[in-house]
Chains A and B, each alone.
Chain A
């Protein structure tokens, strides 16, 4: 295993542990308001300080980890399902099916993704689940293209022709002979996609269109911190760092796997 993978996995492992055990680790209820301790800087009682409602930043960020990791996982799963399905259909059948699907991909790519996201958020209620779904629905195009390219090259391989010669049907050929061989690059894209999805969620929440308060997410902590950035630097620094480190972890892992 190379160093990139090791480093990336360590970061992600720590984050996963923090997210899973958030209720046990967090010293306070993340939504408990404490008017006597508004905007207290990092100190012994509140190790990362408190926000403008006196809520403990460390606790809020722990719960925010949950949101971020979930968003990464679910959004990427959604885009994997759509991307792998459409990509393998296009690559395997070629011709008209391919043309139709790939032109649809092109059209989707023509929309500036973020405006597409904003438009969809406007129609759906901004629950965490909807946010994950929407991020997935707007980020599958790269995976579809990648899978299509892989399928195009793998379907010409001898073992695929042999499977067909021995009586395997189309579904079996795709699911058992082509996709397992296309897995490595798709895995890399998926891992890199998780970093991207986390960034997107943070950006949406920062704009107030993502995860809605009082549920904590790194993005909406940032947004609340922005208003008081001159007196409460910790409210923007720590969630910012958290996003940076998480995305870095996924990207390192992705880069490591690519090699």
Chain B
């Protein structure tokens, strides 16, 4: 069952007279209980995509397309209805756990606040619910840490608290935006394990955003690769059989890749001024004449494997 269906999502910002296309026609879907990875370089539009799924980008000049979550078109909802979905049905985990928690309140009271906001519970019930959640995410000495301030906990601990907070209202979709980027490797592994465990327990759908492909390889069912505000490749067996030249280059740049790394020339194009045709063509080692003129469409090249590329068939593995 598809729980979230994003069609042709566009998010534009304006700076002066210029238009910044942060997300430009992104489509993907997430099934119940599935983990979808969203990967791409910094500035490719991953975070903006994630935030616009519940209309959290208030500065956007233009927000278009469709985000259908459980038969509701989220982009058409009023803010009071959105507030009932945010945190309750779709919850987030952000990149910097320590700064994403309010520094002046104890973590316990912040959790109780979120629980009471979405569920009809008394303060006492909310507290016992929060304690249970903290225990589940592996916070030691729950009673004591319930009374801690965020600055008294380590980064990994704060991330656990955030996970507990995000899951305290049993959401059906969890959006994790680079949740382990600022953590050290062992903590990172622990957090990923925790996420996976909880995901299975709750049959949760997970949208996992990162630029770290190695993490995604272990974690995701399907993968979407973003480049210059668009998804260029989307599907199940991207790791084994990447079709888009950008995906191939990205994968070959990972440590542990057997064979020669492809080093891409040039830089990510500026969002003020994307190249005509395929946005990847200036850097593509396989480009043809058509790439400079015509924008490639998303096509299903293998079963469940979509690519937007004119040269994908010719590409040598």
Contacts and interface: CB of A to CB of B under 8 A. Distances in A.
Interface string B83-124: 111111001101010011111110000000110011000000
Given A158-B100, A159-B102, A180-B104, A165 B118 contact: no
A163 B102 contact: yes
A167 B83 CA distance: 4
A181 B54 CA distance: 26
Contacts of B104: 180-181, 183
A226 interface: no
Query: Which residue among A158, A159, A177 has the maximum number of chain B CB atoms within 10 Å of its CB?
Result: A159
Contact of A166 (B79, B92, B99): B92
Contacts of B80: 169
Given A167-B117, A167-B118, A176-B113, A162 B101 contact: yes
Contacts of A177: 102
A161 interface: yes
A197 B88 CA distance: 48
A164 interface: yes
A105 B79 CA distance: 30
A167 B86 contact: yes
Contact of A165 (B56, B79, B101, B102): B56
B78 to A, nearest CB: 12
A157 interface: yes
Interface string A124-166: 0000000000000000000000000000000001110111111
Nearest to A168: B117
Interface residues of B, number: 29
A159 B51 CA distance: 14
A166 B101 CA distance: 12
Given A158-B99, A158-B100, A165 B105 contact: no
Contacts of A166: 86-87, 91-92, 114, 117, 165-166
B100 A159 contact: yes
A162 to B, nearest CB: 4
Nearest to B91: A166
A166 B91 CA distance: 6
Contacts of A169: 79-80, 83
A228 B227 CA distance: 85
B96 A164 contact: no
A161 to B, nearest CB: 7
B61 to A, nearest CB: 13
A159 B158 CA distance: 12
Interface in A170-186: 172, 176-177, 180-181, 183
B88 A167 contact: yes
A77 B65 CA distance: 49
Contacts of B83: 167-169
Contacts of A161: 56, 94, 100
A83 B101 CA distance: 27
B88 A162 contact: no
B11 to A, nearest CB: 16
Contacts of B113: 176
A181 B103 CA distance: 8
A158 B103 CA distance: 11
A234 B79 CA distance: 66
Interface in B42-94: 51, 54, 56, 79-80, 83-88, 91-92, 94
B88 A165 contact: no
B166 A164 contact: no
Nearest to B90: A165
Given A159-B102, A159-B103, A176-B113, A165 B96 contact: no
Task: Among A164, A172, A177, find the residue whose CB has the most chain B CB atoms closer than 10 A.
Answer: A164
Of the candidates A158, A161, A177, A180, the one having the most CB atoms from chain B within 10 angstroms of its own CB is A158
A12 B57 CA distance: 48
Nearest to A166: B87
Q: Which 4 pairs of residues, A with B, have the shortest CB-CB distance?
A: A167-B87, A166-B87, A167-B86, A158-B99
9 contacts: A157-B99, A158-B99, A163-B102, A165-B54, A165-B56, A166-B92, A167-B118, A169-B83, A180-B105
Interface of A: 157-159, 161-169, 172, 176-177, 180-181, 183
Interface of B: 51, 54, 56, 79-80, 83-88, 91-92, 94, 96, 99-105, 113-114, 117-118, 162, 165-166
Given A157-B99, A159-B101, A165-B94, 5 more contacts: A166-B114, A167-B84, A167-B87, A176-B105, A180-B104
